[in-house]
Amino acid sequence: MERLKRRQDFVAAARAQYAATPGMVVQMRDRHDEAPPRVGFTATRKIGNAVVRNRIKRRLRELARLSLAKAARPGHDYVLIGRAATAGRPFSDLEKDLTSALKRLHRTAHLAADKGTS
């Protein structure tokens, strides 16, 4: 799965749909093309120092490798945002969080994608 690296891709995903779970926030943006799905990872400085943030992002990358690759739809961007609970949450619970978030996002994908639009 291709990685998101440019800031503008992360900003575009932030304006799209999202689902919050206890372990993470998942943002999903439909690019309206048939290219392979892309994924990005982030963790804010509020949740800890660099060691903690990198540990959280490593867990999210492994989660995406195992679970997101099967469930991701072509033409979509996904951003996994770590929370403070991500570091200590059991991995099986993180998998359930991701599955739940993706079900909600894919179920509401036909609605307006941008926040504030009708």
Q: Is 31 left (phi over 0), alpha (psi -120 to 50) or beta?
A: alpha
16 assigned to some structural domain: yes
113 assigned to some structural domain: no
110 assigned to some structural domain: no
64 assigned to some structural domain: yes
Cβ burial 44-69 (10 Å sphere, 16+ → b, else e): eeebbeeebbebbbebbeebbeebbe
70 assigned to some structural domain: yes
56 assigned to some structural domain: yes
How many domains is the chain partitioned into structurally?
1
pTM: 0.87
What is the spatial distance between Cα 100 and Cα 9, in angstroms, rounded to a whole number? Answer: 24
What is the pairing mode between strands 38-42 and 76-82? Answer: parallel
Backbone angles phi, psi at 73, to 5 degrees: -100, 145
Q: What is the pLDDT of residue 87?
A: 93
Query: Which token pair is 7?
Result: 């800031």
Ranges of the chain with pLDDT below 50: 113-114, 116-118
> What is the CATH number for 72?
3.30.230.10
- Read off the pLDDT of residues 48-77 as tens digits, 9 standing for 90 and up: 999 999 999 999 999 999 998 889 999 999
Q: What is the pLDDT of residue 114?
A: 47
109 assigned to some structural domain: no
Q: What is the pLDDT of residue 113?
A: 47
State the residue range of the domain holding 62: 2-104
111 assigned to some structural domain: no
| Contact of 81 with 25, CB cutoff 8 Å | yes
